[in-house]
Amino acid sequence: MKSIKEVSVESKILKRLQDRQICLDLVNYLFKDAELQEMQDYANNVSIKRLGYNDHGPVHMRQVTANAIKMLNILHDSGIKTSLEAEEIGSFEDSMCGVILAGLMHDLGMMIGRQGHEEMSVILAKPIIERAVMHILPKDLHRRTVVKSIAIESIIGHMASRRIHSTEAGIILIADGCDMTKGRARIPLALNTTPKVGDIHKYSAHAIDRIGIHHGERKPIRIDIEMSGDVGFFQIEEVLLTKIDMSPSKQYVELYAGVTGEEAKCYL
């Protein structure tokens, strides 16, 4: 049974994909996939209950997907081509499908553990990616190939631990970094009360009240972050900025953050 939050984010995703039928077919296929749901749920169990980390399950993976779709749509509205489009090897819809696949499966490796989970995510996601692209593009080997490749690059690169090269993978990297509001830390904070190394991630995420993704003024994408306390700056400076700095899409992003009621700091 899906949670209310999962269903809510799914509705957001569907709304952002209006008039893109292949993308809609893909997300509807994945939202109904029982195996993927079980894998997302188990990844979250390992992350929260076994390891004491933040949410890395179905809600997080859906939220990252929603973030990435919004960012990719903003780039499209701004006349900026994805890597597949610029290289004349794929369409915007192909790029979007690759990003959707990556967003919904990038943390499956948490089923095994934290170390090297991006590589494990690729191994676990590959069979689902292959049957999903066959479902939406049964007669087009070329498109299946480029969509699968973008999805795998985006998954393997989402931790900023290796160099990636496409705009699409760069968007997933930033979209993942943007899911750090207090909701992600609510359950870990309730379950794990004994102090230990790494707690700063939970407490800093808990200080993030709101993240907004909009059309920017100086650059296409603007990210606004509101916090309840200064501890939230840890999430921005040690997590989000690290990912943006490694992203091929950094050139398209402006970033502002601040404590509610105080003047926001411009990072980018």
Buried (b) or exposed (e) across 219-242, using 16+ Cβ within 10 A?
bbbbbbbbbeeebbbebbeebbbb
Residue 110 and residue 58: Cα distance in Å, rounded? 12
Instruction: Answer whether 147's CB lies under 8 Å from 133's CB.
Output: yes
Token duo for residue 134: 């066959």
Does the domain at 4-266 match CATH 1.20.120? Answer given as: no
- Give the global pTM: 0.92
Query: Which residues make Cβ contacts (< 8 Å) with residue 147, sequence separation at least 6?
Result: 90, 94, 97, 98, 101, 133, 137
pLDDT per position in the chain (268 positions), as tens? Answer: 899 999 999 999 999 999 999 999 999 999 999 999 999 999 999 999 999 888 999 999 999 999 999 999 999 999 999 999 999 999 999 999 999 999 999 999 999 999 999 999 999 999 999 999 999 999 999 999 999 999 999 999 999 999 999 999 999 999 999 998 875 544 554 555 555 555 556 667 788 999 999 999 999 999 999 999 989 898 899 999 999 999 999 999 999 999 999 999 999 9
- To which residue do tokens 């993704």 refer? 213
Give domain limits for the chain: 4-266
| 6 φ/ψ sector (left φ>0, alpha ψ -120 to 50, else beta) | alpha
